[in-house]
Amino acid sequence: MATGVAAWLPFARAAAIGWMPVANCPMPVAPRDNSKRQDELIILNVSGRRFQTWRTTLDRYPDTLLGSSEKDFFYNEETKEYFFDRDPDAFRSILNFYRTGKLHYPRHECISAYDEELTFFGIIPEIIGDCCYEEYKDRKRENLERLQDDQEENKDMKMPNMNFRETMWRAFENPHTSTMALVFYYVTGFFIAISVITNVVETVPCGSTANQKDMPCGERYTVAFFCMDTACVMIFTVEYLMRLFAAPSRYRFMRSVMSIIDVVAILPYYIGLVMTNNEDVSGAFVTLRVFRVFRIFKFSRHSQGLRILGYTLKSCASELGFLLFSLTMAIIIFATVMFYAEKGSSSSKFTSIPASFWYTIVTMTTLGYGDMVPKTIAGKIFGSICSLSGVLVIALPVPVIVSNFSRIYHQNQRADKRRAQKKARLARIRIAKSGSANAFLQSKRNGLLNELLELTGTEEDEQKLTKSTSLLESQHHHLLHCLEKTTAHEFVDEQMYEQNCLETALQTYPSRSPSISSHDSSVGTCCGRRVKRNTPLPNASTPSAHPIPTHQGPLQELSAIHIQCGDPPSHSTSRSNLNLKTDDSGRINCKGGRITTAIISLPTPPALTPDGDGLHGPPQRRPSAGTNIVKVSAL
């Protein structure tokens, strides 16, 4: 129950009068309000600023400092006020929480100071209202990142006992950790540069020899270039293997983008080594050399900016895709138009629509190579329309895309954050809701346990159990109890309900007992007739009170086993079965398919059993003599 509406509990309880005439059973006793104090004003002195509020306002949240007896520690006898040596500005929002039920986060407050205040006053930050929650979480995250950054800087100093592998990995990831790492970093960078330059220079035509035409340098100085290539590839291979060895998770490392780039960079060389000078595959071999240019991507490890760019492109992929799509549409439209416009002219370069694509792209991007020009009037007209629209279609979105990048990038992050927060918050709300429902079920069990211990246990045990539920909670639970009585059903939690469903599905024989016991009229079981119709009967032992076997914790559910047998069961067998079946709680004991299991939860509290039957907890249903169905309680 949201304690924000605690003031309406009297109304809800009064409205319960609507259930009374339709209920068939007596209602449980209402909890009494022993402390009938008049509502009084409380003065809270926070560092000199006095706040005043009603006592009942503070009592709304009994698990906070101000709502519980903890505030008595701060009571000042002389001035008859509660003095807190804390920040009065932050206290304003805390007191407003009691008044309105919503906790707000003031934006001008420092996040850590605010957190401290909340912790001091025993308020969990999760209940910050929707209006301020996002801001609070953002600030908290930033603060956390700042703390983490500080921590990382300190962390680099220490770390005495890392094994060799971890040292290596750290050296690879962060070159500033040691001089070796720095040397390694620069060496690899140097060799990447050498490799790229080699690839480039290989194709430059060197001076021609006397008898041949211009050859590319690669073919002239084959051996030199081959040695250079080999050296680079060896360095890269060694580096890759070292990284693989040092990686904390080899599988994850092998899947990462950087390692794929590494592999792609060195693979063509090895493939080239393996392949012989077979004429057929040498064409393919040449194309493989193209992949050597990917070595330049290895620079991403050396450049933070490249990594950010790559990530940004990845996250804006959908926008770029859409832009490409719309461009493609425009290109197709104009290419078609140009093709049909130029169809008439002779020696037209616009031989087909795909051929016109080239013209359209060149015109729209305002490149204008001039290798294809329209000759007809219509072609020229459409060509000019094409170039004008190209200016609009292409030149305008470029700055929009740039701004979209940053906007969409941040927006994406915020949307993901909100979505993640939403899930967490819905889970929170669900937990709070189920918490209040669970609180009722828990208090029911505690009530039962209390009763049980009153008779069998000692005083200390009972006191240990009696949780200090506030008056509000006990009144709310009483209200829910009345509803249970009116409808003659009980609240259970989800797991128990599912177990019950399972059990009813498993029953092979109807559990309806033909004859109701003579003890039906006992007022002990409320709405006895109705209940008996729906639930299996207890064991057919005589109604003499027998105490619960001590090994059965009263809080556990009992599974009851129906044994359809012709002979009247004896007390002893049921008893022995009680002890026997302790272990097979889950198993269905199918003795010739005649036994089914059912689970009964703890029934109505023994407060309703005025007869001093010591039968607490299970099973309270009166046994029926002469019935064929025997229920044996087992765990």
* Token pair 């930033």 in the structure block, residue: 142
- CA 463 to chain CA centroid, Å, is 39
Query: Tokens in use for 55?
Result: 């006592």
Please give the DSSP secondary-structure letter assigned to residue 27: P
Nearer of residues 111 and 323 to another protein, judged by Cβ = 323
Nearer of residues 19 and 240 to another protein, judged by Cβ = 19
Shortest approach of another protein to residue 541 CB, angstroms? 23
Nearer of residues 404 and 421 to another protein, judged by Cβ = 404
Beta bridge partners of 560: 598, 633
Shortest approach of another protein to residue 539 CB, angstroms? 19
Please give the DSSP secondary-structure letter assigned to residue 16: G
Q: Tell me the DSSP string of 581-594.
A: TTS-SSS---STT-
Nearer of residues 183 and 427 to another protein, judged by Cβ = 427
Distance (Å, rounded) from C-alpha 453 to C-alpha 450? 5
Nearer of residues 25 and 372 to another protein, judged by Cβ = 25
Nearer of residues 263 and 408 to another protein, judged by Cβ = 408
Contacts of 322-329 with C-beta under 8 Å, sequence gap 24+, read 323/397, 323/401, 326/393, 327/364, 327/393, 327/394
Nearer of residues 313 and 523 to another protein, judged by Cβ = 523
Query: Tokens in use for 221?
Result: 């100085």
Shortest approach of another protein to residue 478 CB, angstroms? 9
CB atoms within 10 A of CB 360: 26
Rg (CA), the chain: 41
Nearer of residues 11 and 75 to another protein, judged by Cβ = 11
Contact 511, 532 (CB under 8 A): no
Shortest approach of another protein to residue 574 CB, angstroms? 23
Cα maximum dimension of the chain = 125
Shortest approach of another protein to residue 596 CB, angstroms? 16
Query: Tokens in use for 378?
Result: 């219509």
Nearer of residues 597 and 601 to another protein, judged by Cβ = 601
Shortest approach of another protein to residue 605 CB, angstroms? 14
Contact 60, 28 (CB under 8 A): no
Nearer of residues 267 and 516 to another protein, judged by Cβ = 516
Query: Tokens in use for 344?
Result: 């008439």
Query: Tokens in use for 251?
Result: 């599988």
Distance (Å, rounded) from C-alpha 278 to C-alpha 517? 98
Shortest approach of another protein to residue 327 CB, angstroms? 9
Distance (Å, rounded) from C-alpha 414 to C-alpha 417? 5
Shortest approach of another protein to residue 131 CB, angstroms? 16
Shortest approach of another protein to residue 93 CB, angstroms? 17
Nearer of residues 29 and 274 to another protein, judged by Cβ = 29
Nearer of residues 110 and 429 to another protein, judged by Cβ = 429
Nearer of residues 8 and 226 to another protein, judged by Cβ = 8
Distance (Å, rounded) from C-alpha 111 to C-alpha 95? 18
Contacts of 337-345 with C-beta under 8 Å, sequence gap 24+, read 337/382, 337/386, 338/374, 338/379, 338/382, 338/383, 338/386, 341/374, 341/376, 341/378, 341/379, 341/381, 341/382, 342/374, 342/375, 342/376, 342/379, 344/376, 345/374, 345/375, 345/376, 345/379
Shortest approach of another protein to residue 613 CB, angstroms? 21
Alpha carbons within 13 angstroms on the beta-carbon side of residue 630 total 23
Residues forming the site for another protein (CB under 8 A): 1-2, 4-5, 7-27, 30, 33, 38-39, 54, 56, 99-100, 322-323, 326, 393, 396-397, 400, 404, 433-434, 436-437, 476, 479-480, 482-484, 486-494, 496-497, 500-501, 504, 530-531, 534-535, 601
Distance (Å, rounded) from C-alpha 516 to C-alpha 231? 96
Q: In what order do the strands lie in the sheet with 629-634?
A: 595-600, 558-564, 629-634
